[in-house]
A and B are shown apart, each in its own frame.
Chain A
C-alpha cells in the first residue's frame, strides 16, 4: 500500500486539531473527496484523536494525600553519586598514594631540596630595608604532607561516597 507523505499526514493532524486556515482546509477537503486512501488515513487519525480527547487524569488511591503526609518526616535525601563511582574514586586516590609512598621509600625525593630566596623577589626598596631570609623546602617533607592530605581525602570519600549512601540504602530497604 502506498504511504501518505509526511507533510500530508501533518496536514491531516492540523485539520483534526482545527488549526488549518480556511483555504488550506478547503484544499484538503478537495483532496479528501478525490482520495480513498487519504480518507482512510483521516479515519485512522480520527480514532486516535477522539480516543485521546476522552482521556481523563488517572485516579490515585483514596488515601494518597494521607500517605504523602505520613512520609514527609521520614524523608532521607539519597546521594545521587553512585557508590560504584565512589569506589573507583577511592581506588584511584589509594593507588596514587601507594605509588608516591613507594617512590618516597625508594628515596626518590631524598635529594630534592630547593631554596627560595626572598631577596630575589622584585619588591621596591622603600618598603623593605632589611635582608629577607631564604626559605629551604625539602621535597620529601612536601611529598609526605601531600600523602597525608590524600589519605584524609580518601577517608572522606570512603565516608561520604561509599559508606553513607550504602547505609542509607540499607535503611530504606528495611
Chain B
C-alpha cells in the first residue's frame, strides 16, 4: 500500500467508513506490536497497549496532518502509550530472569540458535526502552534514522549514536552472560 493509498483509506475512515480502518490496522499491527513488545517485554501487556494505541489513533485521526508518514505518526502513539503503561507498572518489579523471552519453536532449528536468541534477548533486555526500540526499528530496515527519531522523540544524530552505543553495550552484556554461563557449567 503506497502513501497515497493510505491517505485515501484515512479519508474513507474520516468520512465515516469505520471498516476501512481495519485495512490500516492489518498493515501496521506487526510493527506496532513489535514496538510495544520492545518497551514492555511482555506479550499480554504489549498486545493491550498496541490495541489501545490503534484505538487512540482512530479517535485522533483528524489531527494527523499528513506531513509525515501515517506509520511514523501511529508508531509514535504506540511508543508513547507503551512508555506511559510502563511508567504505571513501574512499581511491579520485573527482574531480567522473569522477563518473557519470546520463542517460536517453528522458527528455530538448532539448540545453538535458540540459545543465541535467548542470550541476545537477555542482553537486549538490559538496554533502555528507547535504545531497545531504536535498535529494533533500525534492524527491521523499514525505517530511516529520521523516522526512528520521530517515533522515539529523539534527534536523528542522537539516535545514530545511541544505536552504536546500544550494540556495543549488548556485545559487552553478551560477553558477560556467556562468561557467567561458562562458570555455571
Contacts and interface: CB of A to CB of B under 8 A. Distances in A.
B116 to A, nearest CB: 6
B34 A58 contact: yes
B58 interface: yes
A52 B22 contact: no
B149 to A, nearest CB: 18
Interface of B is mostly: helix
A35 interface: no
Contact of A13 (B55, B59, B168): B168
- Interface magnitude class on chain A: 20 to 34
A67 B31 contact: no
Interface stretch (A71-79, A101-109, A125-133): A71-79
A32 to B, nearest CB: 16
Interface stretch (B2-10, B46-54, B90-98): B46-54
A57 B51 contact: no
B102 A75 contact: no
A105 to B, nearest CB: 45
Interface residues of B, number: 43
Given A58-B102, A64-B51, A48 B140 contact: no
B55 A57 contact: no
Contact of B47 (A49, A57, A64): A64
Nearest to B142: A57
A69 B117 CA distance: 34
Interface in B3-52: 18-19, 21-22, 25-26, 29-34, 37, 43, 46-47, 50-52
Nearest to A67: B51
Interface of B: 18-19, 21-22, 25-26, 29-34, 37, 43, 46-47, 50-52, 54-56, 58-59, 102, 104, 107, 116-117, 120, 123, 135-136, 139-140, 164, 167-168, 170-172, 174-175
